[in-house]
Amino acid sequence: MRDHTKLKAFVLADQLAILVYRNTASFPKEEIFGLTAQIRRAAVSVASNIVEGSARLSEAEYVHFLDIAYGSVREVEYQAGLSYRLGFLSTAGHAELLPIATETAKVLNGLLRALRKTDPAPALSLPPPASRLPPPASSLQPPAFSLRPIA
């Protein structure tokens, strides 16, 4: 089992979740079930998936959960920009959130790349391309049947 608290990606993701909650507290009340909930859920998902992946025994499961965390942090980046363009997120809030989200994404991407280099996916064992092709039309025989009148 891995210690998630020692991962820079987790430390950044945890900071990001706190910043998202602080900066979305002033979002319009009609967005409580919309963009407010969506960006908060995505931010919490980043850190949560790092924690869950770290608790998994297999490297493949660990990478899977880090992939989910990476997708979630990219969601936060988009949703922060959208919130800013809609006027829900202040300029200061945007300037605070975006660098942490971007840094978290970079660190997660680097971690994923390093893990994938050390444990490459097994190659598929497919037959050579020529053996997967149907036989040439010249080698096909027409079906044997005879035309008889129906009695």
Report the CATH number that the domain containing residue 105 is assigned in CATH.
1.20.1440.60
Q: Is residue 33 part of a domain?
A: yes
Structural domain harbouring 62: 4-117
Other C-beta atoms lying within 10 Å of the C-beta of residue 98: 16
- Asked if residue 147 is part of any domain, the answer here is no
* Domain contains 43: yes
Q: pLDDT under 50 in the chain at which residues?
A: 123
The tokens for 8 are 């820079």
Q: What is the pLDDT of residue 139?
A: 55
Res 58: pLDDT: 92
Question: pTM (2 decimals)?
Answer: 0.75
Q: What is the per-residue pLDDT for 119?
A: 53
In a domain, 145, yes or no: no
- Is residue 85 domain-resident? yes
CA atoms within 13 A on the CB side of 22: 11
141 lies in some domain:
no
Asked if residue 129 is part of any domain, the answer here is no
Q: How many domains does the chain have?
A: 1
**pLDDT for the residue 70:** 97
Using alpha carbons only, give the angle 30, 36, 38 rounded to the nearest 5 degrees.
125
pLDDT digits (tens, 9 = 90+) for 54-73: 999 999 999 999 999 999 99
Q: Is residue 95 part of a domain?
A: yes
pLDDT reported for residue 148: 61
Reading phi first (left if > 0) and then psi (alpha if -120 to 50, else beta), residue 69 is in: alpha
